[in-house]
Amino acid sequence: MDKIEMRHNLRSRLFALPQSQRRAESKQASQNLIDTDEYKKASAIMIFLSLPHEIDTTAVILDAWQQGKTISVPKVSWEQRHMIPVEITSLETGFSEERGGFKNPTTGVPMPQEDIDLVITPGLAYDAKGNRLGRAGGYYDRFFASKLLRAKKCGFCFSQQVVDSVPVDESDECVDFIVTDAGVVVCQK
């Protein structure tokens, strides 16, 4: 299966998930992530703001703030095809809603990549090697390729998004571990 076909199949599966299942699995996955050593040790976390059909990151963000952690989210420049981490202190204000429900920060201070301890990334699919099938823009792959980034990279998704094999090419960047509602997968590079 190629990337286009896999993206189509996985998007269809995600959109078909009942809201009650999405909530329950998001809650369990969030707790699994909060229980990891990587999360506990991180003082600065970059995390995505969930699209309506994705695993919900709200509980992780709220817990991080309660623990005194700094949270940044991607600010995407569609024209320049890149993203920068921007610190946020609220989930209620300071965002524009863009393509497909994507929340892009309109305020906030950029966070230097070298200050980030953990990046929690979205993906449509992951495999046990840490290969990631993203949304097709290459934003995270370019971000992960930066020499300044020293952070651990975590894929965060529903367990049904972990597949046997993700098609890859030379520009694709791997994650170090994957957290789902079923548990944690340490990737075998």
What pLDDT score does 3 carry?
86
Q: Check: CB of residue 148 under 8 Å from CB of residue 183.
A: no
What pLDDT score does 127 carry?
95
pTM: 0.94
The length of the chain is 189
Residue 186 has pLDDT above 90, yes or no: yes
For the chain, give every domain's residue range: 3-186
| pLDDT band per the 50, 70, 90 thresholds, residue 91 | very high
Q: Check: CB of residue 127 under 8 Å from CB of residue 10.
A: no
Tokens of 105: 């920060």
Tokens of 83: 């993203």
What pLDDT score does 136 carry?
76
Give the CB-side neighbour count of residue 76, counting CA atoms within 13 A.
16
Candidate CATH numbers 3.40.50.10420, 3.50.40.10, 3.20.20.390, 3.30.70.580; the one for domain 3-186: 3.40.50.10420
Contacts of 20 (CB under 8 A, 6+ apart): none
Tokens of 2: 């190629």
Residue 99 has pLDDT above 90, yes or no: no
**Can you list the pairs that 177-180 forms with residues at least 24 positions away whose Cβ atoms lie under 8 Å?**
177/36, 177/38, 177/130, 177/152, 177/153, 178/126, 178/130, 178/154, 179/29, 179/32, 179/33, 179/36, 179/154, 179/155, 180/25, 180/29, 180/32, 180/156
Give the CB-side neighbour count of residue 175, counting CA atoms within 13 A.
30
Give the CB-side neighbour count of residue 22, counting CA atoms within 13 A.
16
Who wins on pLDDT, 137 or 23? 23
What pLDDT score does 52 carry?
87
Task: Average the pLDDT over 40-60 and give the result.
Answer: 96
pLDDT in tens, 114-166: 999 999 999 999 999 999 998 878 899 999 999 999 999 999 999 999 999 99
Residue 72 has pLDDT above 80, yes or no: yes
What pLDDT score does 124 carry?
93
pLDDT in tens, 25-47: 999 999 999 999 999 999 999 99
What pLDDT score does 121 carry?
96
Residue 79 has pLDDT above 90, yes or no: no
Residue 65 to residue 18: CA distance in whole angstroms? 29
Give the CB-side neighbour count of residue 93, counting CA atoms within 13 A.
0
